[in-house]
Structures are given as structure tokens and as C-alpha cells.
Structure 1
Amino acid sequence: MLITPLFSQLDSKQWICVLDPALALSYYGVHIAQQLGEIMELWIARELWHILNNTKFYLQQPELLIPKSTLNDKAPEQDRATLESVIWSLQEWKRLQSENDLLGLNLFWLGDSLRESLLPKGTTIKLLPRWEYLARLLDRCINQSQGTNDTLMASFRDTIALSASLGSAFILSYQKPTDFSHNRPPDICKALENLGISCELVSAQDRIVALESEYLRQLMIYTGLAKLLWEGLHLCVIHLVTPAVPAFETMSKGSGSDNCADDPEDSGNFPELKGDLWINAKAFWYKL
């Protein structure tokens, strides 16, 4: 089926996708990043970028990148397979970084400062303090989280905050085979619940889900990723609803210079960054 007339009128570059760290660190992560970057604006979260910049350390301790509950529930041979998947993915990301200009991949991130970030052309630098503020609010809940190790929880936190910061972005995730067979949500949905944000499954019969998922599947075909779905990749899409977060396009320009964005603790120039912006936040996910 060809892309419908409605969506053919839209610029696919306007689609903004944040990669779930668990998907990025799976067997499929690098291939998905390379292919989807051709047709949409693709983001990875700060903590994931830190992981990819420290592959030597994590190649020695790959278990730090696997949910503890996953290891506890599996037999030793399954544990080894999971660890091997993470190791292989880290090696592929390392190869990708050494062989490619990431800007050419249309892959973006927020680093520890603007100088360490890679942003799409025309992106306001006020995105950095916006993201920092939302991530700090989520930090309050992390110590209460159970069943997720600190590295992964930080990656999930950063991903969730980044998606909310970008406004129209969705999170591309996946279900591990055992989660799919038992109808369990992706790990990042479990992290959302641990952070006090409910994550509700939306039926494939929902009209909006049917419309969006049909278009995304067509993009998978267009980019040559459809074969991964046949191979057993169970992709999921997650949308955040954050009514208290001001629309990205309408954030005030602030009273100081743009350099204030280098100081995430200084939200005084941005009156929108006050109070609990996660109040009444919800998430919805569906199987692609």
C-alpha cells in the first residue's frame, strides 16, 4: 500500500522520534537508527549518549545495562544470550561512531552543555534548560523505583524527559519476546509506572492508533525495516501527555542571553519552568 494522500502532504522530517535506550542497545538498535534517520528527526537521550561514549567500560560490565528483573527471571543460557546481545550492540555503536558523521545520520542529542550537544538546525538552545528541569523533577522518584538498575533508570528518565521537552515527539520502543508472549509492556513503560506516570495500552482497534500505525508501518517498508518485523521485532510506540508542560514553540524567549541555557540550574529566565510540570502526566502505548 502506498502512503496515503493525507500523510504524503506532510514532510516526514517533521516526525520526531526518541529511541528507547533498550531498543537502541538491542540487536536492532544501530540498524534502526541508520534507517529511520533518513526520514525523520531521531533523538537519543543524554544518559544513553554517555553509555555509547563509554563503550569500553560497559563492554566489561554489560550486566549494568540489563534490568535486574530480566536476569533474575531467566535461565543461565538466556542470561548469556541477553548479555551477548548488549555486547554486540555496543560494538556496533562503537563501529558506527568511528566510521560515520553522526550529523549525517540525522541523529541528535542533548549533552552536558550546548557544546557537547548535537541539535537540528534551527532548534532553540532553550531546549537544554527545559529538558534539564523536567529530568530533575523525575529524579525525585528514582530512589523509590524498584527492579531497575541505576544506569537504565537514568537512561529511561532522560528519554522520558526528552520526549516531553520536544513536545510532538514519540518514543519508539519494543517488547522483548518474553514480554510480548506474556502481554507485558516494554521496560520503559514499567519505568514510567515507577516514576508515578501511568502507561496505558491502547487497542489496535482504536481509530487513531490504526491511522498512525499504518503510516509508521509504511515508513518501515520505505526504509527497508519491514523484514525486522517478520524476524520477530515487536516494536511499540509511546506517547506522553503532559498538560502542565508548556508548548515547545511558545516558550518565552527569556530575559537574559541565550548563554543561560548552559546553566540548567538557572531556570529564573524561564518563567514556564516552575512547579511540578509532570502533574497529571500520562503515557499511552500501542503495538506497532
Structure 2
Amino acid sequence: MTQVNGMWKRLAMACTLLAMPALAWAQSADPHRWQLNMGKGVTASSQHAYDAHMIALIVCIVIGIIVFGAMGYAMFKFRKSKGAVAAQFSHNTTAEIIWTVIPVLILVVMAWPATAKLIAMYDTRDAEMTVKVTGYQWMWKYEYLGEDVSFTSRLDRESDRIRQSGEKPDLVKNPHYLLDVDNQLVLPTDTKIRFVITADDVIHAWWVPALGWKQDAIPGIVNEAWTDIKEPGVYRGQCAELCGKDHGFMPIVVKAVPKAEFEQWLASKKPAPAAEPAPAAPSPETAPAEAAPANAAASASAAETPAPSAQG
């Protein structure tokens, strides 16, 4: 009885594992516990990657079912206990052509959409805005090019305090331990955003799973990427390169908001315009300098002229 129960448990586990690809269609943007398949993400790039992944996964599942089904059927139907005798042959040209041509066709069918999606993922043309990302040990600097807005983003103080004190983090009190920052990267939704990514000291890698891509940040080199976030929300990531002893403490937090809200936020971050100097006060009007000497000369001449005599 125990053996039968164990067999049914193993069968149930196997069925669950086989059903996981079908359950993957309902994955959320952020990873969660016991997730087996990749998520769909919230951008066109992540959707391209997800579609290519699912095509390859379905092809592999079909091939696996056919191959293992044929093996199981052959082992059961043509077993030695039933008197089956193994076939003896050295070459079969037809079989060799079939098992060579079919895999080539499968690879071509898989490569065509994958290549098209890969080209689209690197097409940064017609971007509506550009954000420069610079990696430092151990923080990120974001610059909204053309907007005169820039700031640094590093691990939030509470997470940093917990990790340095040796205190055990509480999942309830600190649900985003080591995945929160002091300044979030705010981006608009439904906007094609171009990223130019580099580093100042060592190689880093800017990676947010929900956006669907990862790009290396290399000193002296500028790499490009783009995104267009479809759903408002907060999406988290990390540096995905071994950049030093504190490599695990370079989180990335992207906050996607509607365009109108983003414009308000961007305006609030711009420096205040410099106050214009007050105009100088007008000086009091004075008489022309030439008028004073002329009046003085006329007065002196009048004083020297003798008065007319009364006798005739």
C-alpha cells in the first residue's frame, strides 16, 4: 500500500511539472516564489523575449513527447520477454536524411522569429526621450538628457543599516530588503525611452527583469537600449555583474507613471530659474552743464553796465 501511495505521489509531481509550461501564461511582471518559467514583463522587449522563449519551449516539449513516447512504446512493445529480436543494419540513407533535414527545418523555423525580435530589441530609433545611466561603485547615476535633471541612486539607508549591523531582516517590516533605493528612476508609460549606459570605474550591468533586457555598463564604452513601459508600477532589479565586494548592494528601482504625472515630477526636479537683476533706479534730472556758465556770464555783464542818467 505504501508503494502504491508513493507511486501516486510521484505521478502527481510529474503531472505538476509537465503542467508548469501551461501555467506560465499567467506569470506576473515580478518574480515570485517557486516560479519556474520566465515572466512576461511590462515592455515590448520583454514580450519579444517571452514569445521567443515560449516558441522554443513548446517546440522542445513536442520533441520530448515524441521522442520519449517512441522510446516508451518501443521498450514496451518490442521487449525481449515477448520474443522481440533487435534489428541488424549498418546504414539507412532514408532515415539519415529524415533525421538531418527535420532538425534543420525546426531550427530555421525557430531562428526566423527570434532574429526578427532580436533586431527589434536593438532598434533605438524614434525615441521620445533619452536617459543616461552611469554605474559607480556602488550606485547608479541617472541623467535625463536635455532636461537638466540628474541624481544618484543607491541602496536605501534602512537596508544598509540592517546588513551592516548583522540584524536578521524581517520580511514583513522590510519586504524589499536590499532591493530598495533612496532615489527611484521615474519614467513615463507608453513612451519609447532610449538608454545610453556606461560606467565610471569597473564593469557593471543594468538589469530590471520586468523590462526584459540587461545591458553591460563598461568604462569608456556607451551601450544603447530602449524600453516602452506599458503598465504603471514599481519594478526592481540589480547590478548583474560581479563589480566588487559590495556587488550585491546595487539595486535598481524603476517607477513607471502616466505621462502627465511624469511631466509634473520632471518639472519639480528642474532647478529654479535664476532671478533677473532689478533695473537700476533712474537718476534725478539736472540742468545741462553748459547752461550754468552762460547764465553766470549774463548776470556779470548786467552788473557792469552803468545805469542811464536822468539828465538829458
Q: TM-score, normalised to structure 1's length? A: 0.21
Q: TM-score, normalised to structure 2's length? A: 0.20
Higher helix share: 1
Higher strand share: 2
Which protein shows a greater Rg?
Answer: 2
**Larger relative contact order (C-alpha < 8 A, sep ≥ 6)?**
1
